[in-house]
Chain A
Amino acid sequence: MQSNRTGYAFISPWLLGFLIFTVFPFVASIYLSFCRYDIISPPAWVGTANYEELLAKDPRLWKALWNTLYYASVAVPLGIVAAFALALLLNLDVKGMSVYRTIFFLPNIVPAVATSIVFVWILNPQIGLVNGLLRHIGVEGPAWLNDTKWAMRSLIMMSLWGVGGSVIIYLAGLKDIPASLYEAAVVDGAGTWDRVRHVTIPMMTPVIFFNLIMGIIGAFQYFTQAFIMTAGGPEDSTLFYALYLFYRAWRYLDMGYASAMAWVLFVVVTTVTAVVFRTHRKWVHYGG
């Protein structure tokens, strides 16, 4: 008992912070989502008006939700494939491999804000690096972030920049696959592709599953890059749900509405995660 108390005393700064800055706002936002609240005046109860408004009368919300779902459904699988492929390459027994691994991980230690600002220049249609390279091969690149059709695609492409973090997790998973499984596969006459297809991928499914869940949650909270690089434009083509929520909360001082939006997002993320979880028995293999 005494040792428990000592333990709690040690973690109390974190516990207090968690209770005050996470649990309390989390619970308060349920109440606020049923209120009209502008930070300054006390919250005024409006019943389900915020929910009715956002579900039935706010086309921008649906645009933002669609943009977010689109991003999640393209960027997350793309990120998984790219990270997994990179991890396979970085798992080869080649001299100086630790240097390559470091190089691929480096983008992850650059803050998102700095990366975003650099990418604004890289994707500049006239003087940017990407269009400069394309021009060398005779292709006039699009206006990227300034083009309604290309802005979202630009952000999806840019998301690949940060796959280094997932690569590390995949590498750890790859190292965990027992060598005996590969040996048995070789004995059975499996080639390289067969070994990847029938040993590596199945054994890696728990790691892929973890990255998929984290990727989905991260995609639904996508904010920084869009806030800095496009501010939701052009023509709302990169208006993400979290960004619109932020605008509603802080630009229009509509905290009640923003709280309702946050709870709708919570329900959507929970539902999508639950659906993915339900499928995991069919394709995730725990073994080895």
Chain B
Amino acid sequence: MAGEYSATVSSRGLDQAPPSSGLRRLVVVLLNLLLVGSLVLFFALPGPQERSYPQREPVRFWHMWSGEWKDVVDGIAAEFNKSQDKYEVIALSVPGASADYKFLLAVAGGDPPDCMAQWNQVIPAWADQGMLVPLDTLMSPAEWQDFQASAYPVALKIGCYKGHLYGVTTGINIWGCYYNPAHLRDAGLDPDNFPTDLDEVWAWGQKLNRYDENGNLTRMGFLPGWCQMYVPVFGGSFYDPGADQVTIYTPANLHALTWLADKHKELGYDKVVRFQSMLNTGGFSTEWPFISGQYSITVDGQWRVEQLAKYAPDLKYRTAPIPPPKGGKPLAGWSNGNFMIIPKGARHVAGAWEFIKFWSGVENPERAAKFYTRGGWLPLSPKIARAPVYQEYLRKYPQFKTFLDVLPSENIQTSAPVPYQVFLGDMIGRADDFAMRGTLAPAQALKDLERNVAQEIERRRRFGL
């Protein structure tokens, strides 16, 4: 071996002169400097998070907010840390796209955060797998009773699974109509008399549509879509709480999907697709097409009120609940929310629970009211809504009241509380897509959906899930 090696070296030496010793030394010195420099930089840079109160019990809190929202969340954590001297909440923003995987791996690895703010459809699945601490077990029976009596019904629907509370809401989302009065007046419509019938809103939308010379839509008057939102408005539902069963192919659900698909057909499937793909929907608040005037009437969530105040303070707009069609249900729609969970295996459950009570207002509704107003969030309970800070917010932004008025409605539905909720949501979205593009008749889309879900239920049964 050694002989071969030296022979190679000597043969190289014949046709290639070795580098001078001075050059070699220079290269070695430079490499060493690079190595030392990298090490110094590595250790000199501050760690990702400095503890402000190292003597306190740390409460590691993960959330998915970024940008302007992250500042709000960091502010709430800082206020909690100031409010007491036992715990320190260390907030960490985890990118939304991978937050669930990171959380799952952290739980599986035995090192989960102490609490997490979620908004994905995770409670039924994670609770079913025994990953979450039932939060009602952290309350006394009287507290739990009081919680159930005081929270908005939708907060309980979002947070509960099989009789236990796994998530406490820190902000409920309700959708309603936003409309631009200037557009309406230009089209000869009276913004003071917004329709109370969904078909009438559609008729208004037709008068508000604008097209370019090629016949492409440049402004959408009103585009109804997203069947999960409209099914409750038509009196339908994807879940029967009495029977604890998913319901799909029902007359009301079919009516809703057919109505929506018909409207897309009327506008032209291709025209709708082209219009929607033109919109800036990168997720930044300022990109909302309603701000740029591309929608005259649109259905969106209450948090837009706060964003409009920040980014389009001069835009004149009004809000209204989604009107039902004839035979439909008023003050209806789909809702979700931000909720706090505590994973099993969390090291500082007590601290996490203190933080959740602090933010959500379980403990002190008046104090928590200001947190809700900072993010434009709907509160956990009417007690918070009645707080002076919240009332002041409503006076400042009267458009927000529309959503607060819808909040107690029993016609507001949430996603079916079944362990395969994510699968169900994806499949409903898929059926929606097939129907809105005209590929499948609404009845067929719902039948296919029903078959897919039945197969999944059967599979879960076979696998003992």
B430 CB within 8 Å of chain A: yes
B455 CB within 8 Å of chain A: yes
B391 to chain A, nearest CB (A): 41
CB neighbours (8 Å) of A53 from chain B are: 459
Interface string of A250-278 (1 = CB under 8 A from B): 11110000000000000000000000000
Stretch from B35-43, B189-197, B349-357, B433-441 contacting the other chain? B433-441
Stretch from A20-28, A102-110, A140-148, A212-220 contacting the other chain? A140-148
Chain B residues with a Cβ under 8 A of chain A: 1, 100-101, 104-105, 107-108, 125, 129-131, 214, 216, 270, 273-278, 420, 422-423, 426, 430, 433-434, 437, 439, 455, 459, 462-465
In whole angstroms, what is the CA distance A237 to B262 when docked? 23
Interface of A, secondary structure class, is loop
A20 to chain B, nearest CB (A): 14
29 CB < 8 A contacts A-B: A36-B464, A38-B129, A39-B104, A39-B105, A40-B104, A40-B107, A40-B131, A46-B463, A49-B463, A57-B459, A125-B273, A125-B274, A125-B278, A126-B216, A126-B274, A143-B274, A143-B277, A146-B274, A148-B439, A235-B430, A235-B433, A235-B437, A235-B439, A236-B430, A250-B100, A250-B101, A251-B423, A252-B423, A253-B129
Nearest neighbor of A59 in chain B, beta-carbon distance: B452
CB neighbours (8 Å) of B275 from chain A are: 126
Q: Determine whether the beta carbon of B278 is less than 8 Å from that of A146.
A: no
A233 CB within 8 Å of chain B: yes
Which of A41, A49, A126, A234 makes the CB contact (< 8 A) with B462?
Answer: A49
A55 CB within 8 Å of chain B: no
Q: Determine whether the beta carbon of B426 is less than 8 Å from that of A36.
A: no
In whole angstroms, what is the CA distance A277 to B130 when docked? 49
Q: Quick one: which of A36, A40, A236 has the most chain B CB within 10 A?
A: A40
Chain A residues with a Cβ under 8 A of chain B: 3, 36, 38-41, 44, 46, 49, 53, 57, 124-127, 140, 143, 145-148, 233-236, 247, 250-253
In whole angstroms, what is the CA distance A44 to B129 when docked? 14
Q: A44-B464, A146-B277, A247-B426 are in contact. List 8 more A-B contacts (CB 8 A).
A: A3-B1, A39-B105, A143-B277, A147-B270, A148-B437, A234-B433, A235-B433, A252-B422
Nearest neighbor of B100 in chain A, beta-carbon distance: A250
In whole angstroms, what is the CA distance A125 to B439 when docked? 20
CB neighbours (8 Å) of B422 from chain A are: 251-252
Nearest neighbor of B131 in chain A, beta-carbon distance: A40
Nearest neighbor of A124 in chain B, beta-carbon distance: B277
A28 to chain B, nearest CB (A): 14
Q: Determine whether the beta carbon of B426 is less than 8 Å from that of A251.
A: yes
